[in-house]
Amino acid sequence: MDCSICTSMPVILRPPRNTICGACYEGARSIINLINKLESEKARNGPPNSCKTLLDVSRWVCDMKDRENVQKEEVSFLKGGFFTALKDQMHTDMELKPGNNGPSIPAHRALLATRSQIFKNMLDSDVCKAPPKDNIITLSELNHEELESLLQFLYTGSLPEEKMEKHVYSLSLAADKYEIPYLQKFCERHMLRSLKSSNALNVLDISDVCSYLSLKETALKFIVKNIEDIAFSDRYDEFALKNPHLCVQITRASLMEARKN
């Protein structure tokens, strides 16, 4: 049966509007049910808005798009203001110093305390109650570029792709050390998305150190699947010396996979 929705016929030759195929009918029902389910889960006060027709669905989508645009404007407003305060050093009251004797970076105590419980504890200690000019915290595990990237993320909640690609491992370690959950998730998602033969061993190493269990399992499976390319690489020799326990896990996982086949 020709369908008035999915047919490839010109408009003038299409069947009447009440002619619809089973696939389009089921698809429309699924969309309406899904949106009603989402509305029911979201509703807290009173009954949810119910979609009964595709026209209701269209209005719902437009409403969601408007809300999304408003949220984007709000996020842009907040991120822009915080990053400007960092970049222009507006009313800063402390400094963070990298571990490679690079120049310190002015920052704001209140913002750092809200982003990390570890930073809050450090800033609440007697050591950090000195006047602002003497109020310096050294993050010895980060160089100047890595510290800049960490601060940019703390102030804006995101980082450009090129900075993530360059500093994701050091940022993962910092997120784990200073208990910054959102940065942990951000780094984990990036490593999962960019997993490949050339970085799989690094991802496995970092996921083991930072206890990213799901990422570690994924990286281990990827390495086993591509064991010939990875095990005979120069990087593997260095990795084996540093992480013998992970090499044992790779060997065991490879043997288990071989048994299945």
The span from the CA of 149 to the CA of 172, in Å, is 12
pLDDT of the residue at 132? 44
**If you compute the radius of gyration of the chain from its CA atoms, what whole number of angstroms results?**
26
Nearest to 236 by CA among 251, 255, 258, 217: 251
> Phi and psi (nearest 5°) for 24?
-65, -40
Cα dihedral sign for 121, 125, 131, 136? negative
The span from the CA of 195 to the CA of 199, in Å, is 6
Q: Yes or no: say if 155 and 111 are a contact pair by the CB < 8 Å rule.
A: yes
The span from the CA of 201 to the CA of 232, in Å, is 12
pLDDT of the residue at 60? 77
Residue 15's CB: how many other CB atoms inside 10 A? 13
Give residue limits of the domains in the chain: 1-46, 53-155
pTM for this prediction = 0.73
pLDDT of the residue at 84? 87
pLDDT of the residue at 217? 96
The crossing angle, in degrees rounded to 10, of helices 54-87 and 144-156 is 140
The span from the CA of 108 to the CA of 89, in Å, is 9
pLDDT of the residue at 213? 95
Which fold would CATH assign to domain 53-155? Potassium Channel Kv1.1; Chain A (3.30.710)
**pLDDT (tens digit, 0 to 9) for every residue of the chain, 261 residues total?**
567 777 777 666 666 666 778 888 888 888 888 888 877 776 655 555 666 677 777 787 888 888 888 887 877 777 777 888 888 889 998 999 998 888 999 999 999 999 999 999 888 875 555 544 468 889 999 999 999 999 999 999 999 999 999 999 999 999 999 999 999 999 999 999 999 999 999 999 999 999 999 999 999 999 999 999 999 998 999 999 999 999 999 999 999 988 887
Helix, strand or coil, per DSSP, at residue 97: strand
DSSP state of 105: E
Copy the structure tokens of residue 160.
Answer: 């450009």
H helices present in 96-160, as ranges: 109-115, 117-124, 144-156
Burial 207-241 (b: 16+ CB within 10 A, else e): bbebebeebbebbbebbbeebeebbeeeebeebee
Nearest to 119 by CA among 141, 137, 98: 137
pLDDT tens-digit series, residues 93-140: 899 999 888 899 999 999 999 999 999 988 887 555 554 446 888 999
pLDDT tens-digit series, residues 180-201: 999 999 999 999 999 999 999 9
